[in-house]
């Protein structure tokens, strides 16, 4: 965690969050390119295999983590849930526009808030309930059921956000006893293991081009995680969270200019509502936790829904 005195550089925090957003959007675009030549499940598996290289700096945290029955169960369960989320996300990326993937992914923190109230006993105040309602309205605007076809890609993205929410709730439980860096590192290992049987079922020999793209994807993902960590160290989440809105703008521009996807104003409007709700909840959490020493959580520590989703 960082102390309040360490988080007094808002412009620096916004810059690093901006860099993280660019990294994630670039990664999304590469996954979309890859979707035309490789099964999404195989691509997800190889992305995590290559990503294991970036765990080398965390080897001390891995070695120092007690592998009790409880910890192994939580690691394994979270690995399976997160693996499902990753497979659904890679599938959705190849089926629906970049802007829609980005907008719908903003729902993950909303699911975390609901899950924390339902399963962890956290209080759900009226203001949070109102923010959740606004976010749901945003999703309805993005999907517009009855006015256009809701494709399997849209359903996969809804499932992605929901599964990621479950993953972060487990992380929220785990960081009570385990160092956040170890929780993050173990996630990559267990997701890779969970993806093995699915990847074997669809395996096709990858080309050197595809392998090269996946190496860059893993690099972008790791860079995005690192930049977001720097952002959280430099400024409060309430300051840096609104910067993530730019991801929706970049995804829309990239989808239009590179993938010839039409600009859907309703996606921008719905995504803006979802992000506004997330930003409000984040701001309220920052106000409520001000001056309190609390353990890091997926929303307040070294790992956030936006940070470790890939």
Per-residue pLDDT reduced to its tens digit, 217-264: 988 988 887 888 788 778 776 677 778 888 888 899 989 988 888 888
**pLDDT above 90 as % of the chain:** 36
Give the pLDDT of residue 122.
Answer: 80
Average pLDDT over residues 69-83: 92
Residue with tokens 């956030």: 304
Q: Cα 294–1–232 angle (5° rounding)?
A: 115
The token pair that represents 245 in the structure block = 């809105």
Nearest to 105 by CA among 139, 149, 145: 139
- For residue 125, the SS3 value is coil
CA distance linking residue 293 with residue 308, whole number of Å: 24
Average pLDDT over residues 94-105: 91
Residues 269, 141: contact at Cβ < 8 Å?
A: yes
Strands (DSSP E) found in 148-275? none
The token pair that represents 162 in the structure block = 């929901």
Confidence tier at 160 by pLDDT (50, 70, 90)? very high
Give the pLDDT of residue 151.
Answer: 92
C-alpha 307 chain-centroid distance? 5
Confidence tier at 163 by pLDDT (50, 70, 90)? very high
- For residue 148, the SS3 value is strand
Q: What is the DSSP string of 163-225?
A: HHHHHHHHHHHHTTTS-HHHHHHHHHHHHHHHHHHHHHHH--PPPHHHHHHHHHHHHHHHHHH
Give the pLDDT of residue 13.
Answer: 83
The reported pTM is 0.82
Average pLDDT over residues 101-106: 91
Confidence tier at 299 by pLDDT (50, 70, 90)? very low
Q: Would you report the helix, strand and coil content of the chain in percent, each value rounded to 5? A: 75, 0, 25
Give the pLDDT of residue 228.
Answer: 80
Per-residue pLDDT reduced to its tens digit, 125-157: 888 889 899 999 999 999 998 788 889 999 999
Residue with tokens 């849209």: 154
Average pLDDT over residues 151-180: 89
Confidence tier at 85 by pLDDT (50, 70, 90)? very high
123-160 b/e (C-beta count within 10 Å ≥ 16 → b): eeeeebeebbebbeebbebbbeeeeeeeeebbbbbbbb
Q: Bridge partners of 145?
A: 148
Residue with tokens 């700096």: 57
Give the pLDDT of residue 8.
Answer: 61
Average pLDDT over residues 198-213: 94
């Amino acid at each position: 965690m960082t102390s309040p005195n360490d988080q007094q550089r808002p412009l620096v925090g916004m810059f690093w969050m901006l860099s993280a957003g660019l990294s994630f959007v670039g990664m999304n675009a590469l996954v979309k390119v890859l979707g035309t030549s490789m099964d999404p499940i195989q691509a997800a598996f190889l992305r995590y295999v290559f990503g294991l290289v970036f765990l080398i700096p965390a080897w001390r945290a891995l070695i120092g983590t007690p592998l009790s029955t409880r910890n192994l169960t939580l690691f394994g369960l979270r690995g399976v849930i997160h693996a499902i989320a990753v497979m659904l996300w890679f599938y959705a990326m190849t089926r629906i526009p970049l802007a829609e993937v980005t907008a719908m992914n903003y729902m993950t923190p909303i699911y975390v808030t609901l899950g924390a109230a339902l399963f962890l006993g956290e209080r759900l105040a009226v203001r949070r309930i109102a923010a959740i309602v606004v976010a749901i309205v945003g999703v309805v605007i993005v999907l517009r059921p009855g006015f256009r076809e809701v494709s399997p890609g849209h359903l996969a993205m809804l499932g992605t956000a929901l599964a990621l929410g479950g993953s972060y709730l487990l992380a929220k439980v785990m960081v009570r006893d385990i160092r956040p860096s170890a929780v993050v590192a173990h996630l990559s290992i267990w997701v890779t293991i969970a993806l093995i049987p699915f990847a074997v079922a669809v395996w096709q020999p990858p080309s050197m081009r595809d392998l090269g793209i996946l190496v860059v994807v893993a690099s972008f993902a790791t860079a995005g995680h690192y930049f977001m960590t720097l952002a959280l160290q430099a400024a409060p989440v309430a300051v840096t969270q609104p910067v993530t809105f730019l991801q929706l703008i970049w995804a829309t521009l990239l989808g239009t200019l590179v993938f010839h996807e039409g600009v859907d104003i309703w996606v921008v409007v719905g995504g803006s509502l979802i992000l506004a709700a997330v930003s409000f909840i984040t701001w309220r959490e920052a106000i409520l936790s001000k001056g309190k020493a609390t353990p890091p959580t997926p929303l307040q520590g070294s790992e956030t829904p936006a940070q470790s989703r890939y």
